[in-house]
Amino acid sequence: MSKINRSKDKIRAIIERTCARRAMLIFVTPYLRIESSFVGVSGDTVHAGVVEGQGEALYHLRASDIRIRFPHGHSFLEGATRVLGIGAFEGSKTLVLEMPKELCENDDRKSFRVGSGGLGSIVAKIRTAGAGTISAALVDVSVHGAKFSTKLGQRSNALKWGDRVGLTIPIPNVVTIDAEAVVRHIDDAGFGVQYVPGLAEHILEPLDSWIFRKREEEMGRLDSLLGGVGKGGGKASAKPDKRRVLIVTSDNEIENAVRRPLSDELLVLHSEPSAVSLETMLGEVPHLVILHIVGGDSNARRSLKFLAGMVPRNVPTLLLGSNIDGADLYELGIECKVATSILWSKERGLLVQRLVVGILRKHFGLGESPMVSIVS
């Protein structure tokens, strides 16, 4: 069950402590989870890190439904915020946020474990009272305990339930866990331990941040995008394992740049920016339409609005802009009632890919949005 902290002083103290560690944070938006880091607190605002030149990409954070998620102690906290603009803190360019009014701690996140898929091959040393030091392969790990395999030849009588042991678990490039623990589970396949007492602060903080990152990466895997296309029809129904994305543009470079990273996961279709071409390709029943606008003059806007009006209301639209002011693109997107909008550049190919996946996930209930980094 979730615990909610609404104390202004306690929330500020938590944020200040987290900023002091420059801890990782995740912006959770409707279509993207964006990785950043805490930088500092100024008055009632919070500063988060950004990469120079990535300011335009943060238009996605202008949505009203924005939350920040970050590791804290033995748990992960989450709270609503607003993006107030671009600022600076101690000489660094930052994203300025409103201080959250409440922080939610979810119990189901406390014991998230990093399993074998995210560990590689890690061998731990287990110091026992009666059998000396034995080696065991790490199966999974959390901030509360760890599980080990007995495949390294551990003797069946080396451990029993309730034994107190010493642990040395080297997690490369993260931290080495040196702790005391109690055996809480044991069977023919392995055994599990609980850290008793809990981990020291200098171990807990880097471990918690690493586990938090692994959890976010697992939630953002693109393979969950695959699945049935649901109700539909058209010629593309011959490929039921791929959702269909229609790119409306006359720019071959942009079409190819968008198509390449998406083609393994999606069936990517193309239409010229004309009513006749778009009407034909809408017959393929796309699940998402990408509309490309070049320039912001009245003719380009009029044409874009007409094409946007042809897209069925139940099909989400991504507006992609070239040679147009970011603020103008954002307002045009609101007028056309698109899912979201973004300025195009070659460097944003990955961001566009993640946006497409995020919109599809949100629209079709396929899980949490993918993650992209805005910090170095």
362: left (phi over 0), alpha (psi -120 to 50) or beta: alpha
Give yes or no: residues 239 and 345 share one domain: yes
For residue 83, what pLDDT is reported?
86
Rounded Cα–Cα distance for residues 141 and 121 (Å): 13
pLDDT at 67 over 80: yes
pLDDT (0 to 100) of residue 302:
95
Q: For position 226, what pLDDT does the model report?
A: 42
d(CA 229, CA 214): 29
pLDDT score, position 308: 96
pLDDT classification of 16: cutoffs 50, 70, 90: very high
Cβ(11)–Cβ(3) below 8 Å: no
112-168 residue pLDDT tens: 778 766 687 899 999 988 778 888 899 999 888 999 987 655 555 678 889 999 999
Percent of the chain with pLDDT over 70: 82
pLDDT at residue 291 above 90? yes
Evaluate whether residue 147 is within a structural domain: yes
In a domain, 375, yes or no: no
Q: Are residues 323 and 203 in the same domain?
A: no
Give the C-alpha distances (Å, rounded to integers) separating 235 from 137, 228, 232, 288, 331.
51, 15, 10, 16, 35
Tokens of residue 152, six digits: 């390294």
Q: What CATH number is given to the structural domain containing 200?
A: 2.40.10.220
pLDDT of amino acid 2: 64
Residue 66 placed within a domain: yes
Q: Which of 46, 81, 109 is the last residue of a domain?
A: 109
Q: Which residue has the higher pLDDT, 100 or 1?
A: 100
- The tokens describing 95, both together, are 């994203």
For the chain, percent of residues with pLDDT exceeding 90: 41
Q: Give pLDDT, residue 214.
A: 83
Among 52, 78, 109, the domain boundary falls at: 109
83 falls within a domain: yes
Task: Please give the biggest Cα pair distance in the chain.
Answer: 83
Q: How many CB atoms lie within 10 A of CB 149?
A: 15
178 and 92, same domain (yes or no) = no
11 domain-assigned: yes
Q: Which domain holds residue 281?
A: 224-354
Give the pLDDT confidence of 176-233 residue by residue, as tens digits: 999 999 999 888 788 999 999 889 989 988 898 888 888 877 765 544 444 443 333 3
Instruction: State the burial class of residue 357 (Cβ atoms within 10 Å of its Cβ: 0-12, 13-18, 19+).
Output: buried
With 0-12 / 13-18 / 19 or more C-beta atoms within 10 angstroms meaning exposed / middle / buried, residue 371 is buried
For residue 218, being part of any structural domain is answered with no
36 and 80 belong to one structural domain: yes
Under the banding of pLDDT at 50, 70 and 90, the label for residue 235 is: very low
pLDDT at 170: 95
Are 280 and 328 part of one and the same domain?
Answer: yes
Same domain, 140 and 194: yes
Quote the number of domains for the chain: 3
Residue 243 and residue 160 share a domain? no
Provide the CATH number for the domain around residue 101: 2.30.110.10
Would you state the pLDDT for residue 111? 62
For residue 241, what pLDDT is reported?
56
Chain segment 300-330, per-residue pLDDT in tens? 999 999 999 999 999 999 999 999 988 899 8
- The secondary structure of the chain, three-state, reads CCEEECCHHHHHHHHHHHHHCCCEEEEECCCCEEEEEEEEEECCEEEEECCCCCHHHHHHHHCCCCEEEEEECCEEEEEECCEEEEEEECCEEEEEEECCCCEEECHHHCCCCECHHHCCCCEEEEECCCCCEEEEEEEEECCCEEEEECCCCCCCCCCCCCCEEEEEEEECCCEEEEEEEEEEEECCCEEEEEECCCCCHHHHHHHHHHHHHHHHHHHCCHHHHCCCCCCCCCHHHHCCCCEEEEEECCCHHHHHHHHHHHCCCEEEEEECCCHHHHHHHHCCCCCEEEEEEECCCHHHHHHHHHHHHHCCCCCCEEEEEECCCHHHHHHHHHHCCCCEEEECCHHHHHHHHHHHHHHHHHHHCCCCCCEEECCC
The CATH number that applies at residue 234 is: 3.40.50.2300
Do 228 and 331 lie in a common domain? yes
Residue with structure tokens 């987290």? 18
pLDDT-derived band at 348, boundaries 50, 70, 90: confident
What pLDDT, on the 0 to 100 scale, is given for residue 371?
A: 64
Which of 93, 109, 125 finishes a domain? 109
Give yes or no: residues 232 and 342 share one domain. yes
Instruction: Answer whether residue 366 is part of any domain.
Output: no
Q: Is 74 found in the same domain as 153? A: no
pLDDT in tens, 80-117: 998 888 888 988 888 899 999 999 986 554 567 787 66
Over residues 249-273, the pLDDT tens digits come to 999 999 998 888 787 778 999 999 9
pLDDT of 60 above 70: no
Do 141 and 20 fall into the same domain?
Answer: no
**What pLDDT, on a 0 to 100 scale, did the predictor assign at position 220?**
59
229 and 350 together in one domain? yes
Name the nearest CA neighbour of 79 among 96, 99, 104.
Answer: 104
pTM beyond cutoff 0.75: no
**Residue 368 is assigned to a structural domain of this protein:** no
